Structure 1
Amino acid sequence: MIKKADSISSSELGTLWLTYQQKTLILRVLDYFIEKTEDPEARNIMGGLWQDLDHYVSKIIDLFENQGIVIPVGFTKADVNLEAPKLYDNGFDIMFLRILKEISMGMYTLNLNMSYQGEVMDIYEGLTVVTQNIYKRSTEYLLKKGILATPPKVTMPIANEFIESKDYLSGFNLFGDKRALNTIEVGILHHGIETNNIGLQLISGFAQCANTPEVKEYFVRGMELAKKQIKTFEDLLLQSNIQFSATSGSTVTTSTIAPFSEKLMMFCIHLLNTFGMVSSSFGTIFTLRNDLSLKAGIVAKDIYVYTHDGIKLMIKHGWLEEPPQMEDRKQLIKQ
Structure 2
Amino acid sequence: MNNYSVAIACSAREDIYDYFSHNFTEANMLHKKALKLMLSKGLNVRPPYLSPPKKAGYIKKQRFLTGWFGERRPLNGMEISNLFSNILRNALGIATLIGFAQVANSKEVRQYMERGKEITAKHAEVLGSVMRENDLPVPMTLETEVTDCTTFVFSDKLIMYHTTTLNAAVLGFYGFSLAASHRRDLGHQYTRLSTEIAAYCEDGANIMINNGWLEEPPMASDRQQLADG
TM over 0.5: yes
Measured in 1, the distance between the counterparts of 2:21 and 2:144 equals 32
Q: Which of 34, 44, 47 is 1:151 aligned to?
A: 47
Is the 8 Å Cα contact of residues 95 and 143 (structure 2) preserved in structure 1? no
State yes or no: 1:140 paired with 2:36: yes
Name the structure 1 match of 2:211. 317
Name the structure 2 match of 1:273. 167
State yes or no: 1:255 paired with 2:149: yes
State yes or no: 1:282 paired with 2:176: yes
Name the structure 2 match of 1:107. 3
What amino acid sits opposite 1:259 in the alignment? V
Deviations 1:56-83 (A, max 9, x none): xxxxxxxxxxxxxxxxxxxxxxxxxxxx
Name the structure 2 match of 1:182. 76
Superposition map of 1:160-171 within 5 A: 160-171=56-67
Name the structure 1 match of 2:134. 240
Superposition map of 1:72-151 within 5 A: 105-151=1-47
What amino acid sits opposite 1:132 in the alignment? N
Give the TM-score normalised by structure 1: 0.65
Name the structure 2 match of 1:219. 113
Is the 8 Å Cα contact of residues 68 and 184 (structure 2) preserved in structure 1? no
What amino acid sits opposite 1:107 in the alignment? N
Give the RMSD, CA atoms, in angstroms. Answer: 1.8
The alignment covers a number of residue pairs equal to: 229
Matched residue SS, 2:105:
coil
Matched residue SS, 1:215:
helix
Is the 8 Å Cα contact of residues 149 and 245 (structure 1) preserved in structure 2? yes
Provide closer, same or farther for how the CA distance between residues 165 and 260 of structure 1 changes in structure 2, counting only shifts above 3 A: same
How far apart are 1:287 and its partner, in Å? Answer: 0.8
How far apart are 1:329 and its partner, in Å? Answer: 3.6
How far apart are 1:326 and its partner, in Å? Answer: 3.0
Deviations 1:100-120 (A, max 9, x none): xxxxx1211222222221111
Is the 8 Å Cα contact of residues 38 and 44 (structure 2) preserved in structure 1? yes
Provide closer, same or farther for how the CA distance between residues 150 and 250 of structure 1 changes in structure 2, counting only shifts above 3 A: farther
Answer 1 or 2: higher relative contact order, Cα 8 Å, separation at least 6: 1
- Unaligned segments of structure 1, at least 5 residues: 1-104
- Unaligned segments of structure 2, at least 5 residues: none
Give the TM-score normalised by structure 2: 0.94
Measured in 1, the distance between the counterparts of 2:55 and 2:219 equals 56
Measured in 2, the distance between the counterparts of 1:123 and 1:243 equals 40
What amino acid sits opposite 1:222 in the alignment? G
How far apart are 1:257 and its partner, in Å? Answer: 1.0
Measured in 2, the distance between the counterparts of 1:315 and 1:223 equals 22
Is the 8 Å Cα contact of residues 148 and 246 (structure 1) preserved in structure 2? no
